[in-house]
Amino acid sequence: MIPFKNHRDILTATAVWYLIFYSPFDIVYKLVKFLPFKLCIGTLKETQRAHKVYHGVTHTAKLYPQAYLLIVIIGTVKGAGSGIMKTIDRLIRGVWIPGSNEFLQPSFYTKACLIASIIFVLERTAVIVAPHAFIYFGVVIFFVYFKLSSLLLGIHDPFIPFENLFCAIFLGGMWDALRRAISKEAPEDANGKSKADKKND
C-alpha cells in the first residue's frame, strides 16, 4: 500500500498509461518502440531492477536475518515480479498457458534476479568481501549488459548453455546417452535375427 501514498507517482503512472494506449496516432507507443528510446528505457529499467532486488534483500534481512532462503526468494520476487504476476494474471483471466509458467520455466530475468539476490546475500554475510558500491555497480552492469544484448543481438537467455552442461553432467543426461550408446542392440538381418542370435543357432 506504500506506493499508493505517493500521489505524484500515481499520477505519473496514470499519465504514462494514458499516453501509451490513447495518444493520437499511437505516437507515444511508436516513440517508445524506436530503438534509441528503447535502449534508454531498457537501461533505466534494469537499473531499477537491481535496486528492487537489493531493496528486497535488505528489507527481508532486517526482518529475518538468518532466513537466507527467504531473503533470496523475496529479492528474486521483488526484481522479477512482473514475470511472476503474469502467471497469476492469466489465472484470473482464465487463460492458462502451461508452457509459459514462470515457476516451471523461469525467464532470464527471474534467473538473473536469483543470482543477484544470492550475490547480495553473500555480500551481507561477508562471504564476498568487496566495497558495496563495486558489487552493486557490477550487478547493474550485469542487468544492463544482458538487456542490451537482448535488444541488439537477440540473445534472450545466456544461461541456457550452462544449464544444458549442468544437466548433462549432474542430472543424468550424459550418462543416459552413454548407456544408450553402449547397450545399443546389434543390427538385425531380414529374418529379424542379430549376429549374436545366428551364432547361437
Residues 6 or more apart whose Cβ sits within 8 Å of residue 3: 9, 10
Along the 201 residues of the chain, how does pLDDT read in single tens digits? 666 777 888 899 899 889 988 988 889 889 888 999 999 999 999 999 999 999 999 999 999 989 999 999 999 999 988 888 888 888 888 777 777 777 778 888 999 999 999 999 999 998 988 899 999 999 999 999 999 988 888 888 888 888 888 888 887 777 777 788 888 754 555 555 555 555 555
Residues 6 or more apart whose Cβ sits within 8 Å of residue 41: 32
Distance CA 72, CA 58 (A): 10
Query: What residue segments make up the domains of the chain, in order of their start?
Result: 1-33, 39-153
- The three-state secondary structure class of 104 is coil
Q: Decide: pTM greater than 0.85.
A: no
- The three-state secondary structure class of 103 is coil
Q: Name the grid cell of 183.
A: 547397450
Q: List phi, psi (to 5°) of 153.
A: -110, -10
